[in-house]
Chain A
Amino acid sequence: MYKRFALLFLTLCMVMSVMAGAVCADTGKEAPMLAEQVAAGTLPPLEDRLPVEADVYVETEYTPEETPSYGGTIRTNNGGMWYFGPNAEEPLFRLLDDGTVEQNVAKSYDLSDDGLVYTIHLREGMKWSDGTPFTATDCVYYYNYVLVTDVDNETGKVTKSNAGRYYNWYMTADENGVMRPAQVRYVDDQTFTITLYSPKPTLLQAIAIDNKWMFCPKEWYKDIMVNDASAAHWSGESDLKLIGGEGLPTITEEQALANALAKSELYNFENAAKLGDQLGYRYWQYAGRPTLRPWNIVSPLTDQTLVFVRNPYYWKVDAEGRQLPYIDTFEYVSMDASLYAQEKIAGNLDLVRFDAADFPIYKSSEAIGNYTVYTDIIPSWANVSFEFNQGYKDPQYRELFANLDFRHAVSIAVDREEVNEILYNGMMTPAQFAPAAGTAEYIEGGPEKWIELNVDEANALLDGIEGISTERNSDGYRTFVGGEHDGQAITIEFETRADAPNDAQLVALLAKYFKPLGLQIVESNNTDNNARNEKYYAGDVYMAAVNSSSGSFNVMLRPDAVAANRNNCAFIGKYGLEHADAMTPEPGSAMEEMVNATKALISASKLEDMQAAAARIVKSHYDNTWVIGILASNKTFDAVANRVHNYRDGFVSCDELRFLGNTRPYTWFIQD
């Protein structure tokens, strides 16, 4: 009897262990929450959800060394759409730290010998998060119907589209020098082409940086995108030829809005432009919109906690063939920034990002809060700086600001150590505005130029400048000699923001440092960024700014913040090429070189020309100290709960590399 029981027991044990093993074997490659749905018949099996085996994206470099476990929730603060968006972003091509790109959504690409035609290959069997196939149609549709809805045939100019500003990355000069948009055409479900008018060697980087998601779910989107059949499309080609598959329905604005609302009450937009902008471009904020991301939002945007849940059709696996991501859910909690530290220490947030000023509180509470502080690298040129508007409307001040000796003098009059101690707990390093050592664009001596405090030399330099007095007036200030301001004290107004307290403190310190030079400093306090930006757009109404420029990750790929193209760069002022009435620099001036180098960079069609133009821009900064750097840190910090594994210390955090997204959060996992 006992024997039979024992035998039965052993048999049962064996059967159960085999079944358990079978279950493990099945579920080991995907998250238990998905395995449950597969078992319940509500979700297709894993192999039907992933691309075909040869086309699956295998994440080898970032696969954790420990055996990861599936599941869990990461809870962090809601820093807005540009905080939670990049964490789960999936671009066509991904930009790497060294400025090159690697394939991501795209499987590979070929470039024609003349450098004009890019053929992009996609992954067969890849699916949107709702299970519908992702094909070349989705890319071609996005480019031709969402990114650009109308283009003037004669000028190539975009006439109607909110997203049109991204279009300029696809513009190249034709044989007459007219900038024309690329043609994007369907070849087959896994292939499309991008045809340029002249070669653009950094096209893939431009796509990776500025048009990361050049695709959208056509089938889901076609009913809510305004498509006016009567409006002639720029190429005159039929829908069928453009995008492959079926033609597009005619949709009026009213129909588009009604169709969107019928999909979800969350899609309640005022007009079609807003609808296109929100569901086409900023789509990751809207529950129900299919994506290719590892996690998708499931809550309305008004919720205090935004919840992002794993995408069952995510198309990446780790080196062991386990479907990514490991973590089930991300929660982003809205709260006032003053509460981050206490919530982190209380263990209610798994991740908080902070800067040097908050370092002491987070670092000292690591043990209580059971977390680790990680250091990230920011590729900035300076964190604390000031600059003068080279395009200021008043000619006498403009001439003074354009004088290199003037900028040299004010740079060496600043006590950088003191600023560091008073404003940043000594956490930063005195530095000039220049690429940091170790970066590709570093110029030897750049960060150290003109940072030694020497008030006597500064005064001697100012004494040598024509048009300003060597004597001081009764208040102790130098005055202008001649011109409209003859006899008036030199008074420089610095723009500050009320919502950035360090701005005002820095200006107070500058006033103290410049008083011995005979320069009067006043503060122009703006209520916030808006008020200050308003002046920047005007271009010539502000004199000087503090903490405005921070540098560039890579000048060739992202010249905007340091070159003369934008209309909101503080030192450039109205010399910015994007100003409606941009100023022309004086022939032979240093600013002319900056403007010419910027033009050369924008219009270059060879990599070496682009590199040369970028180097000219960096050199112009080195020679002219357009922006006067005070301190640099090149660091930001993350307090990460110890239960979060496979986080990376020392990653490069910047917009181009998508901040936290550069750590590839889909490879993080939680182990309590």
Chain B
Amino acid sequence: MTKFIIKKLLIMTLTVFLISLAVFFIITLPPGDFMTNYVGRMLAAGERVNQEEIDALRRTYALDQPFFVQFWSWFSRIILKGDFGYSFSLSMPVTAVIKAYIGPTMALSITTMIFTYLIAIPVGIYSAVHQYSFGDYLFTTVCFLGQAVPNFLMAILLMFIAFRMTGDTMLGLFSPKYQNAPWSWEKVLDLLKHCIIPVLVIGLNNTCGLIRTMRSQMLDELNKNYVMTGKAKGMKAAAIRYKYCVRAAVNPIASSIGWSLVNIFTGTTITAIVLNLPSMGTVMYNALINQDMYLAGSWLFLMAIATVIGTFISDVLLAWLDPRARKEYLKG
């Protein structure tokens, strides 16, 4: 197992380096650079600027350097100093931007993730055990609807319903009244109210997929011979289900937990924009639009790391949950 983990870690390091090279290349692909954008905005605001000044600014930001020089200066600073560089558009270190947004993003994502698993696994089990019952059909219908309706549309629908019912669209995480108020019981209640739509919207889509996976996996397991053997040996149905079937059926879900890690860091960008949530996703989106390359680059870099770590966690989880997988890994 140790050998397996070391091997995985080495591959991870190489993957992260290659991904970071690729993301840096991609963000420098569009025509122009941050300075073009910056100067464009300055001109739109009625400021004056001439080519000499633009060139001087480019030198200041090292935008006149070749690609690999720019990449290496950025990448080496991250590795050696933990310095992600400066955000051009916000005029502050990228780490400060991340620090400002990581809290709300993670709080929202983790709440949503817990919501997702708390609902998906029991409902999946229920649907499998009570196959073709009224409840199963009901959940199936909801699931198909949840998967078919795009997140942002669902968000708009729920906002409309909220507006008709309460006179407020429930945008953001707080009402204007509580936005800057000190923490109080009312503010917590207000936050919870505002969390309903984001959690439902972001959670529902994932939940529906997970319910379907859980249901089909459970059905597969319930029809396997070991279940029949267990029954023949006089084991209780519930014990077979929860000790053996669920453990086996939950494998694909465990292997997908790793992927959720990326979502935890990014939030769901489009939904976050529609619901005006202070998530890292929206910051990333603006960084890409503004060609704020160190912010965007750091962002994609973090996502790459999250994906790689997520995959690693999934592999380890799977090896731990499933003796067969463990055996395969050890062989490999």
What residues of chain A have their CB less than 8 Å away from a CB belonging to chain B? 73, 75, 80, 82, 164-166, 168, 210, 265-266, 268-271, 273-274, 278, 300-305, 307, 331, 333-336, 338-339, 342-343, 346-348, 526-531, 533-534, 537, 560, 566-568, 578-580, 655-656
Contacts and interface: CB of A to CB of B under 8 A. Distances in A.
B32 A533 contact: yes
25 contacts: A82-B45, A165-B48, A210-B48, A265-B96, A270-B86, A274-B86, A302-B90, A304-B172, A305-B179, A305-B180, A334-B276, A336-B273, A336-B276, A348-B168, A348-B169, A528-B289, A529-B40, A530-B32, A530-B33, A534-B36, A560-B48, A579-B51, A580-B51, A655-B46, A656-B46
Interface string B15-56: 000000000000000111100110111011111111111100
B54 A343 contact: no
Contact of B52 (A527, A529, A580): A580
A529 B273 contact: no
B54 A537 contact: yes
Contacts of A579: 51
Contact of B179 (A166, A302, A331, A560): A331
A20 B52 CA distance: 64
Contacts of B90: 301-302
Contact of A346 (B92, B163, B289): B163
Nearest to B91: A278
A530 B31 contact: yes
B159 interface: yes
B261 interface: no
Nearest to B275: A339
Contacts of A300: 100
Across the A-B interface, the 9 shortest Cβ-Cβ residue pairs: A302-B100, A655-B46, A530-B36, A530-B32, A82-B45, A304-B278, A530-B37, A529-B40, A531-B31
Contact of A533 (B39, B96, B273): B39
B191 to A, nearest CB: 14
A273 to B, nearest CB: 6
Nearest to B270: A336
A298 to B, nearest CB: 9
B301 to A, nearest CB: 19
Nearest to B283: A302
Given A304-B278, A348-B171, A533 B92 contact: no
B278 A346 contact: no
A269 B93 CA distance: 7
A342 B172 CA distance: 13
A533 B276 contact: no
B50 A303 contact: no
B207 interface: no
Contacts of A656: 46
Contacts of A274: 60, 86, 91
User: Which one of A168, A346, A655 has the greatest number of beta carbons of chain B within 10 Å?
Assistant: A346
Contact of A303 (B86, B100, B159): B100
Nearest to A165: B48
Contacts of A307: 180
Interface string B66-96: 0000000000000000000010001111001
Contacts of B182: none
B176 interface: yes
B138 to A, nearest CB: 32
B274 interface: yes
Interface string B143-174: 00000000000000001000100011101100
B253 interface: no
Nearest to A654: B46
Contacts of B329: none
Contact of A336 (B33, B168, B274): B274
Nearest to A658: B46
B248 interface: no
B240 interface: no
B299 to A, nearest CB: 14
Contacts of B93: 268, 270
Interface string B286-298: 0001010000000
A165 B45 contact: no
User: Which one of A75, A537, A579 has the greatest number of beta carbons of chain B within 10 Å?
Assistant: A537
B97 interface: yes
A273 B180 CA distance: 33
Given A268-B92, A533-B43, A579-B51, A348 B159 contact: no
A210 B49 CA distance: 12
B101 interface: yes
Contacts of A335: 171-172, 276
Given A335-B276, A530-B40, 16 more contacts: A165-B48, A268-B92, A270-B93, A271-B60, A274-B60, A274-B86, A274-B91, A305-B180, A336-B273, A336-B276, A339-B274, A339-B276, A343-B169, A530-B30, A568-B43, A656-B46
A346 B169 contact: yes
A342 B158 CA distance: 13
Contacts of A655: 45-46
Contacts of A304: 172, 276, 278
Nearest to B51: A580
B156 to A, nearest CB: 9
A647 B216 CA distance: 63
Contacts of B278: 304
A529 B180 CA distance: 35
Contact of A534 (B31, B171, B172): B31
A346 B167 CA distance: 6
Contacts of B86: 270, 274
Contact of B101 (A273, A302, A580): A302
Contact of B176 (A265, A303, A331, A578): A331
A339 B31 contact: no
User: Which one of A304, A347, A531, A567 has the greatest number of beta carbons of chain B within 10 Å?
Assistant: A304
Nearest to B49: A165
A278 B88 CA distance: 12
B92 A301 contact: yes
Contacts of B180: 305, 307, 331
A347 B100 CA distance: 28
Contacts of A269: 91-92
Nearest to A265: B96
A672 to B, nearest CB: 13
A346 B60 contact: no
Interface in B76-133: 86, 90-93, 96-97, 100-101
B176 A302 contact: no
A210 B90 CA distance: 23
A331 to B, nearest CB: 7
Contact of A578 (B45, B46, B50, B179): B50
A278 B87 CA distance: 13
B287 to A, nearest CB: 12
A303 B92 CA distance: 13
Nearest to A339: B276
B283 to A, nearest CB: 8
Given A336-B274, A346-B167, A348-B169, A527 B60 contact: no
A210 B48 CA distance: 9
User: Which one of A164, A331, A334, A338 has the greatest number of beta carbons of chain B within 10 Å?
Assistant: A334
Nearest to A281: B47
Given A331-B179, A335-B171, A579-B51, A526 B31 contact: yes
